């Protein structure tokens, strides 16, 4: 096993993208509990996200969602982000909150609705051009609730056609990441339910299309690290939406439910060459329904760092020897030793060496930032997931 000093260099290259929507209010279909100081504008969301980077040094970019984060002048939002030491990252399109999308977007039976969804994605690419984003993330709520409601096969054809109309708009260095999700909001079938479906569409589209893996979007018990290995083999793992789940798409703080799973996933990312390369965008996709939005984000990026550190501690050479010798016990022990290594004190020291607070969550509470936004952000409409 490596020691902490061996892994400092690769570890210090970690960048976790945070989602603008994590700073808004969110909840369940039963209740959204508003929090004091919640941003009312995309500028305020970016300001909160910048706090996460200021205190951790790990979160230099903020993913935006269109139209939630559309402002008259996107350059201004981008410059504002830069002035706070962060930048705008992935652009997420939204084809799930307009009346027209009741029966789907890119898969809708009506060509006019499909055209509208294509045009929205093209408009998102134009925003990417302005603000210098690399990735367009497409997550579709498309699907059906009842067997026979629509033709599953026709919907795949429509999807393929729609994606092919969006794809040519991607410029040099830009990519499309197609996210899959097992179910919800559709309950019978979903048009992009799994990594295989996403991958097939990406392969059809061309080299700028990649799969986005949201850790909350699988059936319970799914071996997610296997999917990671497979997509990296195919060169098509584009990004992660990290979060954690106990039951469905819970969007809880990453690592909260199963830190060992997060470790296994990150180890497979390292093993497959997905890190420290930045070709795999590590992003959070979370909702903080009951915990403070900013503190929840800080904790989450720190957890990714902590589990990545443990994953980097695995000496691949040593593990490979045990594996090739079919030494089951030794191989498993090598992995578990890395997982059980407590790196928290080393990480605190590393932060101090970088001029960062040793305990970023405590530093956030001590900074007075929360009090200041609670005092300033009075009136207006608080941002919310819906
Ligand atoms: C809905 O499940 C979802 O959480 C997807 O994971 C997207 O990434 C996100 O919303 C934002 O559109
Ligand atoms: Mn997601």
Task: Please name the helix (run of DSSP H) or strand (run of DSSP E) that holds residue 61, with its range, or none.
Answer: strand 61-66
Decide: helix, strand or coil at residue 336.
Answer: helix
pLDDT at 385: 78
Cα 2 from chain centroid (whole Å): 28
Task: Spell out which residues line ligand 1, taking CB within 6 angstroms.
Answer: 92, 139, 179, 181, 214, 241, 249, 285
pLDDT at 87: 98
Task: State the distance from the centre of ligand 2 to the C-alpha of 222, rounded, in angstroms.
Answer: 17
Which among 166, 158, 157 has a CA at the least distance from the CA of 119? 166
- The stretches in the chain having pLDDT less than 70 are 386
For ion ligand 2, residues whose CB falls within 5 Å:
214, 241, 285
| Whole-angstrom distance, CA of residue 58 vs CA of residue 97 | 32
Q: Which of 97, 183, 214, 218 to mutate to test the pocket of ligand 1 (most atoms within 8 A of CB)?
A: 214
Q: Where are the alpha helices (DSSP H) in the chain?
A: 4-11, 42-56, 74-83, 111-131, 152-166, 195-205, 224-233, 259-271, 293-312, 316-324, 328-340, 344-353, 360-367, 369-376
Q: Which of 19, 69, 136, 179 to mutate to test the pocket of ligand 1 (most atoms within 8 A of CB)?
A: 179
Q: 173-187: per-residue pLDDT in tens? A: 999 999 999 999 999
Which helix (H) or strand (E) segment holds residue 135: the answer is strand 135-139
Closest ligand 1 atom to Cα of 214: 6
Name the pTM for this structure.
Answer: 0.98
Pairing of strands 209-214, 175-179: parallel
- Asked whether the bond before 89 is cis by omega within 30 degrees of 0, the reply is no
What's the pLDDT at 386?
A: 64
Q: Is 225 left (phi over 0), alpha (psi -120 to 50) or beta?
A: alpha
């Amino acid at each position: 096993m490596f020691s902490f000093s061996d892994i400092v260099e690769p570890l210090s290259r970690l960048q976790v993208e945070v989602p603008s929507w994590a700073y808004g209010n969110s909840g369940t279909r039963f209740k959204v509990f508003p929090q004091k100081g919640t941003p009312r504008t995309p500028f305020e969301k970016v300001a909160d996200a910048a706090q996460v980077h200021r205190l951790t040094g790990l979160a230099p970019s903020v993913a935006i969602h269109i139209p939630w984060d559309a402002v008259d002048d996107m350059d201004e939002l981008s410059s504002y982000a830069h002035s706070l030491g962060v930048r705008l990252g992935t652009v997420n399109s939204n084809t799930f909150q307009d009346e027209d999308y009741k029966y789907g977007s890119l898969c809708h039976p009506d060509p006019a609705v499909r055209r509208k969804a294509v045009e929205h994605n093209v408009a998102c690419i134009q925003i990417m051009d302005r603000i210098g984003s690399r990735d367009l993330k497409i997550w579709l709520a498309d699907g059906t609730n009842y067997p026979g409601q629509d033709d599953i096969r026709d919907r795949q054809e429509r999807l393929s056609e729609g994606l092919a109309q969006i794809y040519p708009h991607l410029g040099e260095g830009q990519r499309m990441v197609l996210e899959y999700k097992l179910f919800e909001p559709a309950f019978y079938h979903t048009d992009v339910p799994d990594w295989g479906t996403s991958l097939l569409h990406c392969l059809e589209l061309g080299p700028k299309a990649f799969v986005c893996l949201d850790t909350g979007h699988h059936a319970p018990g799914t071996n997610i690290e296997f999917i990671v290995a497979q997509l990296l083999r195919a060169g098509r793992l584009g990004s992660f939406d990290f979060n954690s789940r106990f039951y469905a798409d819970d969007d809880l703080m990453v690592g909260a439910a199963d830190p060992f799973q997060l470790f296994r996933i990150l180890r497979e990312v390292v093993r497959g060459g997905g890190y420290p390369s930045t070709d795999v965008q590590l992003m959070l996709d979370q909702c903080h329904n009951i915990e403070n939005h900013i503190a929840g984000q800080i904790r989450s990026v720190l957890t990714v760092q902590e589990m990545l550190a443990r994953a980097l501690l695995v000496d691949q050479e040593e593990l490979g020897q045990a594996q090739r010798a079919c030494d089951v016990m030794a191989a498993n022990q090598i992995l578990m030793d890395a997982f059980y290594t407590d790196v928290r004190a080393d990480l605190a020291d590393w932060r101090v060496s970088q001029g960062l607070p040793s305990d970023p969550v405590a530093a956030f509470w001590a900074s007075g930032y929360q009090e200041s936004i609670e005092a300033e952000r009075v009136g207006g409409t608080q941002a919310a997931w819906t």
